Structure 1
Amino acid sequence: MDLRGKALKLLSQREHSRTELRRKLGGSDVAREELDALLDELVERNWQSDARFAIAYVDANAARFGRYRLQNELRERGVADALIADALAQLPAEDDELSRAREVWRKKFREVPTDPAERARQARFMQARGFAYDTIRKVLGGLDED
């Protein structure tokens, strides 16, 4: 299969960022100029779009991760900060972030921590999922009214 065929096959399975495609297609036998030309063509034809990828990624992962994790994951995939901000702006307001954090916490733990060590363990888990400290504090404190 030629380089173009591989790119189209990858894009038919799911959205990819330009950086992901470059990494997946750029083997030792591929000329850099040829790869850049192909990636430019895919963008021109609107077959590849970092903006579309960012929105799809946020939609697929928002239920499991907080804003910070989503932002970092998109940066690692080579998406521009402006496109990341646009994709994250489509997420509902902070109240929804709190409800998503509560749901993630419920699935993993189900019980409010009873000692400082358990509280720290649960807080680390929630931080790794990309939730803000204030959100974590509200979830672990059981403050439904905040």
Structure 2
Amino acid sequence: MKTKKPTQSAKQAAVRYLSRRDHAEQELQQKLLARGFEQEEVDEAVALCQDYNWLDDARFAERLLNNGIAKGWGLLRIRQEMAHKGIHEEVVSHLFEDDEFDWFEHAREIAQRKYGDSPMDTDKEKARRLRFMQSKGFDFEQVKYALDVDDDEY
């Protein structure tokens, strides 16, 4: 199926997308290509947006990090979201290079918010809480810390 030729330029479409919200470079390229623009037009539009600092993967990654923390996600889930949005691994690594955020305490806060002081008295309940915390993107060590369980309990 052939896509019909867009009525506006790739540059106009790119600016319109970026006026709504930040995008990763790869994400913006995919949207423009899906709209029927040629690769050369897309490359020019992306370059223009980068020149004017309207498109910045590092800034976008930082926003995703802050939004992920606000949503109660762990580091693994946030990194997965960044990869899904097409942020280069180099940008992601640089963002987390000097990361001083306490992911263990964050996990504990999320567990406390979800479960409060309710007892975790059955194996079924422990497994349910473990699955929930892992689905939020916390690694096993962070989950054990958050739920206050020992290695010999699993």
TM-score by length of structure 2 reads 0.80
Query: Contact 2:74–2:136 (CA<8 Å) still a contact in 1?
Result: yes
Deviation per CA, 1:13-64: give whole Å up to 9, x if none: 3221011112222225221221122112212332201111111111121231
Runs of 5+ consecutive residues of structure 1 not aligned to the other structure: none
Alignment equivalent of 1:72, drawn from 64, 80, 83: 80
User: For the structure 1 residues 14 and 90, does the alpha-carbon distance in structure 2 shift closer, same or farther, using more than 3 Å as the test?
Assistant: farther
Matched, 1:38 2:45: yes
Cα distance in structure 1, aligned partners of 2:149 and 2:19: 44
Cα distance in structure 1, aligned partners of 2:119 and 2:89: 36
User: For the structure 1 residues 28 and 17, does the alpha-carbon distance in structure 2 shift closer, same or farther, using more than 3 Å as the test?
Assistant: closer
TM-score by length of structure 1 reads 0.84
Deviation of 1:83 after TM superposition, in Å, equals 0.8
Task: Kindly report which structure 2 residues correspond to 1:14-53, keeping only aligned pairs within 5 A, or say none.
Answer: 14-27=21-34, 29-53=36-60
Q: How many residues align?
A: 141
Please name the residue that 2:121 is paired with: 114
Bigger mean CA offset, 119-128 vs 59-68 = 59-68
Alignment equivalent of 2:137, drawn from 130, 136, 146: 130
Task: Kindly report which structure 2 residues correspond to 1:80-119, keeping only aligned pairs within 5 A, or say none.
Answer: 80-89=88-97, 91-93=99-101, 96-110=102-116, 111-119=118-126
Matched, 1:6 2:13: yes
Cα distance in structure 1, aligned partners of 2:141 and 2:131: 13
Runs of 5+ consecutive residues of structure 2 not aligned to the other structure: 1-7
Cα distance in structure 2, aligned partners of 1:48 and 1:112: 48
Query: Contact 1:112–1:140 (CA<8 Å) still a contact in 2?
Result: no
- Which one has a bigger Cα radius of gyration? 2
Query: Contact 2:24–2:60 (CA<8 Å) still a contact in 1?
Result: yes
Deviation of 1:121 after TM superposition, in Å, equals 1.1
Secondary structure of the residue aligned to 2:53 is coil
Superposed CA RMSD in Å reads 2.0
Query: Contact 2:11–2:48 (CA<8 Å) still a contact in 1?
Result: no
Query: Contact 2:11–2:44 (CA<8 Å) still a contact in 1?
Result: no
